[in-house]
Structure 1
Amino acid sequence: MIVFIDLFIPSSFLNVGAPMIQPLKRIRSIDDLKLVAAHCEHVLTLFSGGLDSTYALKCLVDSGCRVTALTVDLGEGINAADLQQITAHFGAELLVIDGQQAFAEDAVLPAIRANARYMGIYPISSSLSRPIIARFAVETALRLGCNAIVHTANQSQNTLRRLNGAIAQLGYAGYYGTPYEYTAISREEKIEALRAAGLPHFQARGISGDANLWCREFESGSLDNPESFWVPESLFDWTAAVDPAPVSSELSIRFDGGRPVAIDGEVLPLVELIAHLNRRVGAFGIGRYCGLEHLEQGEKVLEVREAPAAMVLLEAYRHLETAVLDAELLREKLHMEQLWVREAIEGRWFTPLRAATDRFIQETVQYVSGTVNYRLRAGAADVCAIRADAPLYLTDRDSWEKDIAAQRSSRQLSLPTNSVLDASKLLAEEN
């Protein structure tokens, strides 16, 4: 059975800022998973339909507990039929939640305002999606009475601390974690186990991917070694070459109160606006990124991503806020942005520090209204106009120079009479 749910859950619904759960509640190995499953009536497992989540689903079902597989759609275009086929094979219930609106409003919009780039290089993505997924998971587990929440991140994935951190910060009192933190099972072993269970379609290891409406990112496989890697062109979707190639065109993006609201004068909901820009800007091959990201203990892994909408929205927002905010406020905001990004990437989304940083940034958004125009061409988006509603910039320097000179020169340089007499007397006495 497959159940589709369209939910929008405000963060106030959950116990954000609650004390962290004790480590003894953490699932960290396959043995932990089997032990918890054997003593829990109902387990919620995050399910993508990939090898890791399918193998974990098999382990849970084999332990005899009731299992609900949760898929949160953040705009990556899930194949519900494939997911249903796998969960039905194991007799588990599949629950699909449309989380696109929540992701756009509660994660992407704040990220635009925080100009959220990792080390200033590329737009962050999974740091934004994991807290939203965790929030849906906790809310669903509470609603269904689940005793545990299982995910399938491993030690080479930053998703591990981001999901664990968010679930704990939301105050979930059950067991939670991943069986792959302390148990390393080869891909071949998982494939063979699933083949023996009647699912023969999983393949040998390749490039891993993660996608949502904001970004498509890739790692592992041919991307493992930063010193020598190659990126198959087939990975790309939004920025894939099209035939015939588009000719240059004009693009305008309108912001009201720090929120992108319209493309070329057409007002669009945020989710649709982002999707439109991914297609429109990506068609010119704009928005590809490559960079290293650190793991929890400091090791670095290479990631490649495409994010055309993020590229133009982050840049356009920066141009507009530079046009309307005082220079000192902008300098302090730069510090706050990096603090905001740090808390997000370290898995501390639902903490007072990130919330406080977000409030600082939120204070600045009321002034950010206007339009930024681009000229799109192959491989580049050139800014051709910045029009703020309440600008601090000059539009006619020559006229301004004349006006300001006239204002500042309209004064008389003189001393009061008494001061002049006193000065004359002083000079006479000195002589």
Structure 2
Amino acid sequence: MSKDKIAIAYSGGLDTSVMIKWLKDRYDAEIVAVTGNLGQQKEIENLEQKALDTGASGFSFLDLRADFVENYIWKALKAGALYEDVYPLATALGRPLLAKALVDVALETDCTMLAHGCTGKGNDQVRFEVTFASLAPHLKVLAPLREWEFTSREAEIAYALEHDIPVSATKKSPYSIDENIWGISIECGVLEDPMMPPPEDAYQITTSPEKAPDRAAVIDIEFEQGIPIALDGRKMDGLALIEELNRAGAAHGVGRLDMVENRVVGIKSREIYEAPAATILHFAHRELERLTLEKTVFQYKKNIAQDYANLIYNGTWFSPMREALDGFVEATQKTVSGLVRVKLFKGSVTLLGRTSPWSLYNEELATYTEADTFNHKAAEGFIHLYGLGLKTYSEVQARNSR
């Protein structure tokens, strides 16, 4: 009888390294480690050898960056998805793609179980397991960190040393950090006190605004149907464009976010984020929508943006609701083409200008010069009808209160 096979989401850190040995022994199973590259810079070197040395029988490294940008990030950008009006959802957007990649490898290699290294009080366990249920409901899901005997990082390190598991970490970092091309999330340590200003060492890529250059950077961002396609007149693919904006924004201290957010599991959590490109692009995209979307569409889309953000944050990316919302969003983006000019200066993003062939701004109607073509006389009748209901209401209230 063949052994069970478990596909695990593998980062190469302490938890997932210990997981390989722990799961292998507990279930007498073969382990297939799967790593997805979403643009993270740390812990991606020599992962295959590390996984095999730790006890895995197979390893898959998948470059998911282009897929992440084209099919996840751009959808969220077009929707205007910012969780609780702040967080551009970098980690949350990456989880369904990583989970899908794990399912794909599991099915290709005849695995019978899936495993992740998420804790029992975080959002990511929900995002992974809901995605698993959506894409491969027949596969059993394992969450070792919710059930194993280790109660501290030190206990895990001791287990690793006892079983000759190669782990580089011997001292706990004060922060828990997750990184991809759309942003970095930082939590734990002194950040758990909402009154404590984030120490500079918490930030991974951005310059302190106080130390940012005294000369601003001006950038032209060109959009086509809601998707950024060029910087300063240079056509670029999505991955390169985000990387360049991350560098420019980080140098000028742009993209630092500090929020207390409502987690899926019912607790509030203080999170620090660095998202230079996401901050710049969401700002520019919203300003272009102000220029090109009809009033009621622009205002209603704000509701859709929040629904879309909640959907991503809550882990229901692979759902009929997201597909339905995508239909609305795509319809709104047909005219969101044009150029937005922004200034980056000491942590801020400022609008300098915008233009579009689909612009609904009519200077002859808006101007207060002699070129004005607005029919001022029409305003009297409009105001009379617009306020008629309230006028009638007030008259009735006054009559009955005598």
Normalising by structure 1, what TM-score?
0.81
- C-alpha distance in 2 between matches for 1:398 and 1:286: 36
Pick aligned residue for 1:398 from 336, 352, 368:
368
- C-alpha distance in 1 between matches for 2:282 and 2:307: 17
Pick aligned residue for 1:193 from 159, 167, 181:
159
Pick aligned residue for 1:110 from 65, 75, 95:
75
Range that drifts further, 110-119 or 258-267:
110-119
Q: Structure 1 residue 354: deviation in Å?
A: 1.8
Structure 2 counterpart of 1:137: 102
Aligned in 2, Cα 1:401/1:380: closer, same or farther, shift over 3 Å?
same
Structure 2 counterpart of 1:164: 129
Structure 1 counterpart of 2:91: 126
Structure 2 counterpart of 1:59: 22
Q: Structure 1 residue 85: deviation in Å?
A: 4.0
1:86 aligns with 2:50: yes
Q: Structure 1 residue 293: deviation in Å?
A: 2.2
Q: Structure 1 residue 127: deviation in Å?
A: 1.5
Range that drifts further, 392-401 or 258-267:
392-401
Q: Assess if the C-alpha contact under 8 Å between 2:186 and 2:202 holds in 1.
A: no
Structure 2 counterpart of 1:424: none
- C-alpha distance in 2 between matches for 1:89 and 1:194: 12
- C-alpha distance in 2 between matches for 1:406 and 1:334: 31
SS state at 1:366 partner: helix
- C-alpha distance in 1 between matches for 2:3 and 2:260: 40
- C-alpha distance in 1 between matches for 2:84 and 2:352: 27
- C-alpha distance in 2 between matches for 1:39 and 1:286: 54
Aligned in 2, Cα 1:88/1:182: closer, same or farther, shift over 3 Å?
closer
- C-alpha distance in 2 between matches for 1:65 and 1:171: 19
Structure 2 counterpart of 1:344: 312
Q: Assess if the C-alpha contact under 8 Å between 2:209 and 2:254 holds in 1.
A: no
Q: Structure 1 residue 308: deviation in Å?
A: 0.7
What amino acid maps onto 1:285 in structure 2?
G
Pick aligned residue for 2:34 from 44, 48, 70:
70
Aligned in 2, Cα 1:227/1:401: closer, same or farther, shift over 3 Å?
same
Q: Structure 1 residue 246: deviation in Å?
A: 6.3
SS state at 1:255 partner: strand
What amino acid maps onto 2:204 in structure 1?
F
SS state at 1:247 partner: coil
Q: Assess if the C-alpha contact under 8 Å between 1:254 and 1:371 holds in 2.
A: yes
Cα deviation, 1:253-278, whole Å, max 9, x if unaligned, reads: 00011110000000000011001100
1:203 aligns with 2:170: yes
What amino acid maps onto 2:245 in structure 1?
L
Q: Structure 1 residue 381: deviation in Å?
A: 2.1
Q: Structure 1 residue 296: deviation in Å?
A: 3.1
- C-alpha distance in 2 between matches for 1:52 and 1:39: 27
Aligned in 2, Cα 1:143/1:269: closer, same or farther, shift over 3 Å?
same
CA RMSD, 1 decimal: 2.4
Aligned in 2, Cα 1:251/1:136: closer, same or farther, shift over 3 Å?
same
Structure 2 counterpart of 1:427: none
Structure 1: runs of 5+ lacking an equivalent: 1-37, 410-431
Structure 2 counterpart of 1:428: none
Pick aligned residue for 1:370 from 338, 346, 355:
338
Aligned in 2, Cα 1:381/1:229: closer, same or farther, shift over 3 Å?
closer
Cα deviation, 1:257-313, whole Å, max 9, x if unaligned, reads: 111000000000001100110001221111100112223342111110110101110
Larger Rg: 1
- Report 1:14-413 matches (<5 A): 40-63=3-26, 64-92=28-56, 93-183=58-148, 185-198=151-164, 199=166, 201-205=168-172, 206-228=174-196, 230-233=198-201, 235-239=203-207, 245=213, 247-395=215-363, 397-398=367-368, 402-405=372-375
Aligned residues: 372
- C-alpha distance in 2 between matches for 1:247 and 1:375: 10
Q: Structure 1 residue 375: deviation in Å?
A: 2.1
Q: Structure 1 residue 116: deviation in Å?
A: 1.3
What amino acid maps onto 2:153 in structure 1?
R
- C-alpha distance in 1 between matches for 2:209 and 2:46: 28
Normalising by structure 2, what TM-score?
0.86
Aligned in 2, Cα 1:386/1:294: closer, same or farther, shift over 3 Å?
same
Q: Assess if the C-alpha contact under 8 Å between 1:257 and 1:367 holds in 2.
A: yes
